[in-house]
Copies of this chain bind each other. A is one copy, B any other.
Amino acid sequence: MHILIIGTAGMIGRKLANRLAQDGNLGGKVIAELTLVDVVEPESPTGFSGAISVLIANLSAPHAARDLISRRPDVIFHLAAIVSGEAEANFDKGYEINLDGTRQLFDAIYAQGIILTQGKSSPYKPRLIFTSSIAVYGAPFPEQIDDEFFQTPLTSYGTQKAICELLLADYSRRGFFDGIGIRLPTICIRPGKPNKAASGFFSNILREPLAGQEAVLPVSEDVRHWFTSPRSAIGFLIHAANLDLARVGPRRNLNMPGISATVGEEIEALRRFAGEKAVKLIRREKNDVIERIVAGWPSNFDTERARRLGFEAEISFDHIVKVHIEDELGGKL
């Protein structure tokens, strides 16, 4: 089995590559080859017995998608995108990377199927897993967003993700590939350094105090949001790759399970693991801009379909903190 990961240099891509390298198989099939792609050179995982190709490519460049697909991967994880803030700041670049790049990938798969069918080779119909986002939703929301709530994004990033979801469903319905789109909750606790993303503080206020460092909280404690751990996110991707898509039917884009929690609930979990000393490292510094941005984000979902299809996530914030301590801090504080 040959697996292609597009967007391997990001946090999720790196973790996914490591997990696949470590497992050595996907759904019981041995992984013979991993192709890892990004616009900058991704890290190569260690301990993998198959072949690894590391490639630098930008999907929106001419022929990039065609070249990748000509190698006929069996499973494609498409994680590559520029983030929300950048897509909003740079309209043209956002559409070029997030929409045109994805469509070129989809069209390359479609074309590969035609070429090989006419040449009497075996047909080509890979599994394609696409990471979408809860940014496909735009306020105002019901108290809990269910699986049939409509997509009215309020950012260009969310628009681009929603469009790619529609293409994915249609190309899958046409039989060009077996696509599934998964809308990830905000990943928490995001490992690494604090970053300037508007959502960064949700992780910062836990990760930094757990490591004895100060963190800034720019919103009030009653702000609610929708979370899952990095470990669960990787679990969703693997599950989506193995899932019987006949069970999913034509509605191929799914809200992933997560936890709806307030900042106050995050802080209580921190207190239980690391005590009052850690909580005192959170410095309150109100930021109206961030508070306004966050108020436009969805904060609570009823993900019945995904749960019925076997997607699993943490069920408490304590569990999310525990996963971070196990996966990033070697199991202890």
Contact = CB atoms under 8 A, between A and B. Distances in A.
Interface stretch (A164-172, A276-284, A309-317): A164-172
A152 B91 contact: no
Given A162-B166, A169-B159, A150 B151 contact: yes
B167 A152 contact: no
Nearest to A88: B174
A245 to B, nearest CB: 15
Interface residues of A, number: 23
A194 interface: no
A150 B153 contact: no
A159 B154 contact: no
Given A91-B174, A159-B170, A167-B159, A150 B150 contact: yes
A151 B152 CA distance: 10
A263 interface: no
Contact of A166 (B149, B159, B250): B159
Contacts of A91: 174
A250 B151 CA distance: 12
A169 B138 CA distance: 12
A150 B251 CA distance: 10
Interface in A138-194: 138, 142, 147-154, 156, 159, 162-163, 166-167, 169-170, 173-174
Contact of A148 (B147, B149, B159): B149
Contact of A153 (B153, B162, B170): B170
23 contacts: A138-B250, A142-B148, A147-B150, A148-B149, A148-B150, A149-B150, A151-B166, A152-B250, A152-B251, A153-B166, A153-B169, A153-B170, A154-B173, A154-B250, A156-B170, A156-B174, A159-B166, A159-B167, A159-B169, A162-B166, A163-B163, A163-B167, A166-B166
